[in-house]
Structure 1
Amino acid sequence: MKESTRLFKAFVFDFDGTLAELNLDFNFMRNSIIALSGQYGIRSEGLHDFLILELIDIVRDLISKNDPAKAVRFFNEAHHLIKEIEMEAANQGALLEGTLLLLTTLKNKGIPVGIISRNCHSALVRVFPNIADYCSVVLSRDKTIHVKPHSGHLVQALRCLDTSPAKAVMVGDHPLDIHLGRQVGTYTIGVLTGYTQADSLFASGADLVLNRAFEILEILF
């Protein structure tokens, strides 16, 4: 493993649950958006299975069929709502043990690092104020056109890092991160600091699963 990892020229990390504590209550966020949708006349049936950002887009499109201006109001209100929830979670958040040492070591070794996240940029900076000192590119959802699981999110990060997928690693705590890395063509590492078990990460196609991202140093150096 050490021989193969020496070929990697860049690392792209998810943030919440990978480099920082995962304390977002996604069910609460989803239910809050569904409740807001009800205020706009959209029934809740069939809405619980969608990811939150995609749920907002779906409801906006449903409202837009009859009232485009109302759809815009819903969209803005929904994003304001989830940002409030994210910022509240960020106020209680912290980096995971070993994150700073991991990022410092990669930086000192000349290996560029990127972060891609579905969270808002303000929340990332609240948890990690000097994030720009350690990461060459930080693409939160409000810093990119395409948000993961869209492949464009990772592709944009790799372009900013001037690295081909074959020379890069995608690291995350969720099957979504693993699927994304495999779709784009990176090496994929799953970590067990989120809500997902090792079996699910391997089933998603992870090349490697670690207890925490910090253990990357043990296989690199």
Structure 2
Amino acid sequence: MTDLKLAVFDIDGTLVDSQDMIVRAMTHAFEALALPVPARPEILSIIGLSLPQAMARLAPALVPDRLDDAVTAYRDSFFAMRSTDGAAAALFPGARAALDALHMRDEVLLGVATGKARRGLVHMVETHGLEGYFQTTHTADEHPSKPHPAMLEAALAETGVAPGRAVMIGDTSFDIEMGRAAGYRTIGVAWGYHPVSALHAAGVDRVIDDFAALGPALAEFWEG
């Protein structure tokens, strides 16, 4: 019987470098509502959360209706930017090669657990020609926000992989906390939007400095 393994990836800050687009869209959203614009580090700190939770952290004094307006303003700005500018977040160096190598292994299943909405995930996959790479995909508009483990629990249910053979790969403390809550091993990436110290504080199993280190780290979990 094949020993199936599962590698689940976060998107923003892990596979793609979307920080400039996110910061620009968030800036436009706050300006549209005549609100003080959060500093760039504040905006980066909430990447990975579902958008309503992210907005609530950035502007905790907003009443629910205004919070909804802020969410809508962000989405409108982001999609306008993408359609008008043709903007698309680039894959981090080495990401494609790492995905290609894993995709070629019959016993390895790939997944996504992202703070993006389904529409954003579809755009990313189509932009980078990753159709057919991910056997299980879960988005913020279909599940509770990270770090709730619902996305990763659904991935296990869909693939039939045991938690001990599953690994969550992400760049934020939310990814690591979610992975631990679902019983996954966790790999943090040092090039993302949360400092490495935050990943360690969240209990990450391993932090890698580049995608070349991903294969050996996974091998240690799966074969060591």
* TM-score of the alignment, normalized to the shorter chain, above 0.5: yes
Highest CA radius of gyration, 1 or 2? 1
Q: Which residue of 2 aligns with 1:107?
A: 103
Report the TM-score, using the length of structure 1 for normalisation.
0.72
2:186 corresponds in structure 1 to 188
Contact preservation (8 Å) 1:114, 1:161: no
> Relative to structure 1, is the Cα distance of residues 96 and 87 closer, same or farther in structure 2, using a 3 angstrom cutoff?
farther
Gaps of 5+ in 1: 1-6, 65-69
Call closer, same or farther: CA 1:113–1:158 in 2, change over 3 Å. Answer: same
Where in structure 2 are the equivalents of 1:182-221 lying within 5 Å? 182-219=180-217, 220=219
State the identity as a percent: 23
> Which residue is equivalent to 1:133?
132
3-state SS of paired residue (1:188): strand
Partners of 2:131 and 2:203 in 1: how far apart? 30
Number of the residue aligned with 1:95 = 91
The 1:150/1:22 distance shift into structure 2, 3 A limit, reads: same
Moved more, 128-137 or 48-57: 48-57
The correspondence for 1:118, drawn from 115, 118, 124, is 115
- Secondary structure of 1:132's aligned partner: coil
TM-score when normalising by structure 2: 0.71
Give secondary structure in 2 for the equivalent of 1:80: helix
Partner of 1:16: 12
1:163 aligns with 2:164: no
CA distance in 1, matches of 2:33, 2:10: 29
8 Å Cα contact 2:9/2:111 also seen in 1: yes
d(CA) in 2 for partners of 1:56, 1:95: 26
Residues matched between the structures, number: 204
Counterpart residue type for residue 210 of structure 2: R
The alignment partner of 2:19 has SS state of coil
